[in-house]
Amino acid sequence: MPDKRQDNKPIEVAARRKAVLELCFISLLAITVAGAFIAALTYDFVSARAPIFIMVPLLLLIGAQLNRTRRQAHVHDLLEEASLALRGKNNGFNSVASFVGLMVLLLLLIYVAGHYVGISVFMFVLLRWISKEHPILSLLISVGVTVLIYVLFEHGFHIELYRGYIFRLLSRYELF
């Protein structure tokens, strides 16, 4: 008669890895929302009502999810899986971490160069190096979508997207 614990081992490992990924993602989300909540507290009351109204229940839900996930996994298992993830031996964590890293790079690119340049460059990089598309196709799609976004926001909605730090420097805005 086969040992049932050995048959369930791949399932247990997958569940532990999922719990680690979930805890990492929820923790990152909690830090981000808590930072936005603290920033919203510095606004005038009229401006802060909507963010606070949205973020208080969101923080409560995040806390409940963190607690549920923490109870599902043992601390030793979580630490072991986190150690594997930090050493690069958890493929799921590696792909999530690279995605989060790409999103942080996109935010930095938007901050420095603006929405239009950031979106265009980021889309080109995703199409060319991650999707392995032809360079001309990648360029055409990224420029075409950026032009579409420009026309839609600037002319359709009359919303000026952020131009970037470089634009502000060149336009001699007072930065501080």
The pTM score is 0.63
Same domain, 65 and 112: no
Taking each continuous run of H as one helix and of E as one strand, the counts in the chain are 8, 0
Q: Which of 89, 116, 134 is where one domain is finished?
A: 89
Q: Which of 89, 124, 157 is where one domain is finished?
A: 89
Same domain, 74 and 145: no
Is residue 61 helix, strand or coil? helix
172 conformational bin, left if phi > 0, alpha if psi -120 to 50, beta if neither: left
Residues in the chain, overall count? 176
Same domain, 83 and 115: no
| pLDDT (0 to 100) of residue 161 | 87
Give per-10-residue mean pLDDT for the chain (176 aa): 55 73 83 88 79 86 88 72 78 80 92 94 92 95 96 90 88 72
Pull the structure tokens for residue 60: 């409560």
Q: Which of 89, 107, 140 is where one domain is finished?
A: 89
Domain extent, residue 124, equals 97-176
Same domain, 5 and 66: yes
| pLDDT (0 to 100) of residue 49 | 78
Same domain, 52 and 126: no
Same domain, 85 and 2: yes
Same domain, 3 and 58: yes
Burial of 89 (0-12, 13-18, 19+ CB in 10 A): exposed
Q: What are phi and psi of 90, to 5 degrees?
A: -120, 105
Same domain, 7 and 60: yes
Q: What gap in Å lies between CA 105 and CA 125, rounded to an integer?
A: 11
| pLDDT (0 to 100) of residue 132 | 92
Same domain, 6 and 80: yes
Q: What is the DSSP string of 103-115?
A: HHHHHHHHHHH-H
Using CA atoms in the order 63, 68, 73, 74, what is the torsion angle rounded to 10 degrees? 70
Q: What gap in Å lies between CA 79 and CA 7, rounded to an integer?
A: 23
| pLDDT (0 to 100) of residue 73 | 67
Total domain count for the chain? 2
Same domain, 106 and 79: no
Same domain, 6 and 77: yes
Q: Among 104, 105, 140, 101, which residue's Cα sits nearest to residue 120?
A: 140
Same domain, 32 and 83: yes
